[in-house]
DNA sequence: ATATGTGCAAATGGTTTGCAGTGAG
DNA sequence: CTCACTGCAAACCATTTGCACATAT
């Protein structure tokens, strides 16, 4: 579906452009994040990276993910009572469908709200119960403080 | 704006209907959550409750909030790297505008996405940089497992 | 060569939990 | 009178951090 190789190259290029080193551990993390169709947690990335790189630490996974976040090469889906899930394929805001039972995270094919919810249900087979829509930015006071 | 007294009564009624006791501490939490125009954190609720009730513990605040969540009388806005914020006035899903600098949470007046974002910016004065839209429900596998 | 990255282990911080004591119904 | 609730302190757990060592550039 998505061109994973291109994503990986884009990540690597971005790290270079921003003056960061490409260590083997980092490369392994980039690969998992760029190749994964799913939305893995840091722990899941860790498990995969350990296969080829047994000495890797979870801390390094987090550090690499944070680095990628800082250069907008990975999207973090943060939750209050569960670990964050990461999307390295589409590192820009887009809708997600999240199973409240098993935690599965799916990207709906369609991407406009009453009808959108219905479309998402049809696309994904989920039984939609609720949603979350947040806008982020600078409040008036914080714009002044710039 | 919102009818806070009605919200408080609704909360109390719901607790009664669901067989829960109304302790003074609980009542204090309900008041803060129902009266607040903002979207306080558990800590902020705690600070307010302590004013009238110095012996109250943060644990009790959390327990009460969780109780209210379980009967759909408060909406939790969960974040990965910050404490959750709670809305006792509108305990159903609705858009929020969140300042990425100071954490301020505002309810936009308008509520349909390209244009919605612009409307929200006009309504709130925020400079919108990104958004989050999640749908929650049961994935196909979990529907079967019911 | 040298600063950046790694890995360990300890710290963090919001939230939850166990349990003995308290009080609402 | 009883059982749900409170408050304390300890536990939890995802994530972050400090630091000595290693290594990409």
Q: What's A8-55 look like in SS3?
A: HHHHHHHHHHCCCCCCHHHHHHHHHHHHCCCCCEHHHHHHHHHHHCCC
Helix orientation angle between B24-35 and B58-70, rounded to the nearest 10 degrees: 70
pLDDT of B146 above 70: no
Render pLDDT for B54-101 as a digit per residue (tens, 0 to 9).
999 999 999 999 999 999 999 999 999 999 999 999 998 888 888 878
CB-CB under 8 Å, B136 with A100: yes
Contact A23, A66 (CB under 8 A): no
Q: Does domain B93-146 have CATH number 3.30.1490.190?
A: yes
What residues does each domain of chain B span? 1-89, 93-146
Average pLDDT, chain A: 87
Element (H, E) at A99: strand A96-99
> Does residue A58 lie within 7 Å of nucleic acid chain D, judged by its CB?
yes
The mean per-residue pLDDT over the stretch A26-41 comes to 95
The SS3 assignment for A80 reads coil
| Other Cβ atoms within 10 Å of A38 Cβ, number | 14
Distance in angstroms (rounded) separating the CA atoms of residues B45 and B110:
27
Beta strand pairing call for A105-106 and A75-77: unpaired
For the domain bounded by A1-89, which CATH number is listed? 1.10.10.10
Render pLDDT for B111-129 as a digit per residue (tens, 0 to 9).
666 677 777 778 777 777 7
| Other Cβ atoms within 10 Å of B103 Cβ, number | 15
pLDDT of A32 above 80: yes
- pLDDT of amino acid B72: 92
CA B96 to chain centre: 11
- pLDDT of amino acid A19: 96
Distance in angstroms (rounded) separating the CA atoms of residues A136 and B127:
8
> Does residue B63 lie within 7 Å of nucleic acid chain D, judged by its CB?
yes
Q: Give the strand order in the sheet containing B96-99.
A: A105-106, A96-99, B127-138, A127-138, B96-99, B105-106
**Closest by alpha carbon to A143, among B95, B40, B117, B104?**
B104
Render pLDDT for A68-127 as a digit per residue (tens, 0 to 9).
999 999 999 999 999 999 999 999 888 888 887 888 888 877 666 667 777 777 877 777
Query: Closest nt to A76 (CA→C1')?
Result: D15
Render pLDDT for B9-45 as a digit per residue (tens, 0 to 9).
999 999 999 999 999 999 999 999 999 888 999 999 9
CB-CB under 8 Å, B127 with A101: no
Distance in angstroms (rounded) separating the CA atoms of residues A50 and A12:
20
pLDDT-derived band at B141, boundaries 50, 70, 90: confident
CA of A59 to C1' of D25 (A): 23
Is the Cα torsion angle A108, A113, A119, A120 positive or negative in sign? positive
**Closest by alpha carbon to A131, among B72, B94, B57?**
B94
Query: Closest nt to A65 (CA→C1')?
Result: D15
């Amino acid at each position: 579906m998505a061109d994973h190789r291109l994503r990986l190259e884009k990540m690597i290029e971005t790290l270079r452009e921003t003056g960061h080193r490409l260590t083997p551990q980092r490369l392994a993390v980039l690969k998992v994040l760029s190749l994964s169709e799913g939305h893995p947690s840091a722990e899941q990335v860790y498990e995969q990276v350990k296969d080829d790189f047994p000495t890797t630490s979870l801390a390094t996974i987090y550090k690499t993910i944070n680095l990628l976040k800082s250069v907008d090469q990975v999207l973090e889906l943060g939750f209050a009572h569960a670990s964050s899930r990461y999307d390295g394929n589409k590192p820009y805001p887009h809708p997600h469908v999240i199973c409240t039972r098993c935690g599965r995270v799916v990207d709906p094919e369609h991407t406009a709200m009453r009808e959108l919810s219905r479309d998402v249900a049809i696309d994904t087979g989920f039984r939609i119960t609720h949603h979350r829509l947040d806008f982020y930015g600078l409040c008036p006071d914080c714009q002044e403080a710039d």
